[in-house]
Structure 1
């Protein structure tokens, strides 16, 4: 039975419990009212019997009758008439020694009266409930006194308990009817409440919901993606551990946390903007000071039944995927691709020039062949020698060589201004690739659209900080400082309009600079980044000295 009840839904259990409580309360109320009503009826019966008994005791006819030679012959008809007219069940007139003169049952006349008469013999009238020859009854016994005050007889008038119950039943019927109405109304209210609970709990039982909650809690806090749940007012109801890490929130500590408004969480503006929306979001990239996030957002609605058009917005579920490392690897891959393309291009060019030199030798013109080879060697080695002698950071060196080759291939003048010696910076190579690589890529793209394309790169030290400045021959971004916002770009697409799927490079630059605690400024077409160096690298850094190499 207990196992069967355990399988009930919360709504069914609540309905059964409420109905049982209402019935128990109604039964208790009826019992109390019935007991009170019975006491009232018995008091009324005692008062009525007392009044009749006193009236009989004060009647001179009765006093004369008990002194006559045959009291029964005189008083029995009188007693029967009183019982009939007054509506009592018995009137017994007796001698002080309990011998009955009258009784509803003639066979009981002359026998002893059953019950207590001592107070009456002492001259005191009283009432009691006693079981006599007619069964349980409420009776009053009053002494009959002569003119001198002597007790010459006793009179007992009473109403049987069965008759009091008949009177009580008439009064209690209303109470029972009211209790039935109360039970019906309570059952209706419990049914309506259980129907509502059945709808909002989908008919699930308490044990099932408890298990589901435990499973969901485990899943929410163990998955690798961030998960943010919001209510219909866009307040954050739940953020799992991964979401708290990605958004810089305090990790959840309990199940009773109240919903938090977005403005109280200190979220990055880009994230707060997405979470403040009311609609769905699909694969939107959001950059915070520490992460590159891909955001998906679904709207949760509640329907009374499948297909119900009256859907109500309950809230949203937002998933956050961390693509920071992916973007870093993409940047590194782009740099390696640039180097590979530059080497392949140079190999192609060197093959053409080698064929030309061989042809000059075969034509008997060795001097011209030597001159061509020497010139090409000097042009190709000038930048490489300059970078190799000045830059001790291998990642930065490879990056500059690759971008120089890429600029040469695109016909863009590429100038690098370096000090005599640029010691290793100690900065994370991935951050270096993100910052310098994206700045130069944007400069090359901007310069390529100008009549005299040129890109100037300046790298040096200033007050123990690394300063990287990249300028191009273009007019500079129209958006100014907003060019670092995600999705903002001045690069046209093939149709001449705004580019789609672009505008992330400079946003990543700003993120990396912020992560390293640096500064970023833009003036026209010149972008300048200032980065603090780790303590060890800063102590060994040499002052910036001007120097240049061209490609």
Structure 2
């Protein structure tokens, strides 16, 4: 079942009224309606003001032009005896199409008017142009409200002798305003239609990106993801197709030693170059891959993730197997000791049978000589190791390894010149290094012709020098850099124990101690380790760390 179908089942109730499409459409329409209404209102105000100004200026132009006509300037002082002013006013109304042209003298007596009955009568309001200036505005007038302009008529001496009042009734203004309103309405309807179409396309795009999940479903999945991510003990790292971290929990931060912000950063910028970074970035294939850090053995799994047929990155899980691997190795060591004891048991049983046979035959002298010979052989190696190898755990390890090697028909020898009387290094690290190198050497001699010999040499003249050599095939020259990489092994895996850890573990211990590990090409295996002597401060610091 896909994430989308699984999550959708939980939000059937009320979904019709809370879908993402409905929310986007409602929000877009509300915003568009508010914007269009506000824009239409502002446009109407500006348009009305512009139209008012245009009609006032138009009226002013007609009034100014009429006031400058010579016929009017000559007829007005004489009282217009020939009644030419009204005729001129009508001609102007016919040509310029104002609603009225009224010419008065300085007393307000009309000489022209659309209503002939008002000619000769005085204005209800005073003459406004006596100051010699033009005036514009809206005038209620006798014919109704109109955009009005008044211009003075000047006589020959430059004095004001009359007034020309031109008006354009409000009905013309309203007619033009209605045309603008219809234009605004049509434009608003187009904008709303485009907004609805855009909202639907946007919602489809968002739902495609969110895999058809609704906001409540996304929030629920996010909460569950956070609870799951930070509630498990395994380390989890999510990466996108470009190798950038998209998800990481606290356990992953602890194991990878990441501090600060990691989300959105490439994994290559967060981890140093090495096997662990290659595993997380997908540079190395396979599942359950082993990687060693400075203080942990990690098992790494990287799985690609795809949804709806397209890749969205990968998920990497990391498990800390340090303690388990240590217990498994301890168990195998104990098992090796038991095999050594079993081998010694068989050997001593055979020797007892020989002694018993000699006694049965009555050959007491031969029996004494055989017992003395066996006792001397048994004491010689143990006494020599105790005399030359000071750490008791290392001497015991060497005795056990000699017995185990003998059981596998491998002769293991500690060179006569070996000395390790005062090793100023950590004894546990020393045991780990020697044990792994000897195990690898014995394993390398499997299926090789006899004699099979492994030699180990110690020297503590300057720090601690360890050399383990065998007469097997050795390490090919082109594989020297690979044998110390964690996870690399040419041998078959053993049940319950991972291969490719021994030399990598030795390399890590040596590197942390500031020493060197040299691997020489075959034929014949040759591994040399040098560890510097530690000061007391270094020893105290090392004991405080968790391996």
Alignment correspondent of 2:343: 345
CA drift of 1:283 comes to 0.8
Aligned counterparts of 1:416 and 1:526: Cα–Cα separation in 2: 15
Alignment correspondent of 1:300: 305
Alignment correspondent of 2:3: none
Deviations 1:179-211 (A, max 9, x none): 554554456555544543444455778899789
Aligned to 2:325, which of 316, 324, 327?
327
Could you say if the C-alpha distance between residues 152 and 80 of structure 1 is closer, same or farther in structure 2, counting changes exceeding 3 Å?
A: same
Aligned counterparts of 2:328 and 2:424: Cα–Cα separation in 1: 22
Matches within 5 A, 1:41-440: 41-53=51-63, 58=69, 59=71, 63=75, 67=79, 86-92=96-102, 96-98=106-108, 113-115=123-125, 117-119=127-129, 121-122=130-131, 124-142=133-151, 154-171=163-180, 173-174=182-183, 176-178=185-187, 180-182=189-191, 184-185=193-194, 188-189=197-198, 192-201=201-210, 224-235=233-244, 242-243=251-252, 246-247=255-256, 251-254=258-261, 259-260=265-266, 262=268, 267-277=272-282, 281-288=286-293, 291-301=296-306, 303=307, 308-309=308-309, 311=310, 313-355=311-353, 357-358=355-356, 360-362=358-360, 364-417=362-415, 422-423=420-421, 425=423, 427-440=425-438
What SS class does the counterpart of residue 321 from structure 1 fall into?
A: strand
The count of residues paired between Structure 1 and Structure 2 equals 514
Asked if 1 retains the 8 angstrom alpha-carbon contact of 2:80 and 2:111, the reply is no
Deviations 1:286-310 (A, max 9, x none): 2356543211112233x5xxxx34x
CA drift of 1:138 comes to 0.7
Deviations 1:262-305 (A, max 9, x none): 2x55624322433443686421112356543211112233x5xx
CA drift of 1:49 comes to 3.0
CA drift of 1:396 comes to 1.0
Alignment correspondent of 1:514: 511
Q: Mean Cα displacement is larger for which, 398-407 or 323-332?
A: 323-332
CA drift of 1:168 comes to 3.1
TM-score normalised by structure 2 residue count = 0.75
Task: Determine if the alignment matches structure 1 residue 525 to structure 2 residue 525.
Answer: yes
Alignment correspondent of 1:455: 454
Aligned counterparts of 1:247 and 1:150: Cα–Cα separation in 2: 100
Deviations 1:11-62 (A, max 9, x none): 9877766666655555555455444443443333234434554566645599
Aligned counterparts of 2:276 and 2:233: Cα–Cα separation in 1: 19
Q: Mean Cα displacement is larger for which, 11-20 or 501-510?
A: 11-20
Alignment correspondent of 1:504: 501
Q: Mean Cα displacement is larger for which, 419-428 or 512-521?
A: 419-428
Could you say if the C-alpha distance between residues 342 and 148 of structure 1 is closer, same or farther in structure 2, counting changes exceeding 3 Å?
A: closer
Could you say if the C-alpha distance between residues 56 and 407 of structure 1 is closer, same or farther in structure 2, counting changes exceeding 3 Å?
A: closer
CA drift of 1:213 comes to 7.1
TM-score normalised by structure 1 residue count = 0.74
Alignment correspondent of 2:465: 467
Alignment correspondent of 1:543: none
Deviations 1:76-104 (A, max 9, x none): 89977875675333444556554667666
Aligned counterparts of 1:282 and 1:359: Cα–Cα separation in 2: 59
Asked if 2 retains the 8 angstrom alpha-carbon contact of 1:49 and 1:157, the reply is yes
Aligned counterparts of 1:456 and 1:409: Cα–Cα separation in 2: 16
Deviations 1:152-174 (A, max 9, x none): 76543312223212123335544
RMSD: 4.7
Asked if 2 retains the 8 angstrom alpha-carbon contact of 1:446 and 1:474, the reply is yes
Could you say if the C-alpha distance between residues 296 and 354 of structure 1 is closer, same or farther in structure 2, counting changes exceeding 3 Å?
A: same
Asked if 2 retains the 8 angstrom alpha-carbon contact of 1:115 and 1:130, the reply is no
Alignment correspondent of 1:542: none
Aligned counterparts of 2:225 and 2:396: Cα–Cα separation in 1: 49
Could you say if the C-alpha distance between residues 246 and 425 of structure 1 is closer, same or farther in structure 2, counting changes exceeding 3 Å?
A: farther
What SS class does the counterpart of residue 445 from structure 2 fall into?
A: helix
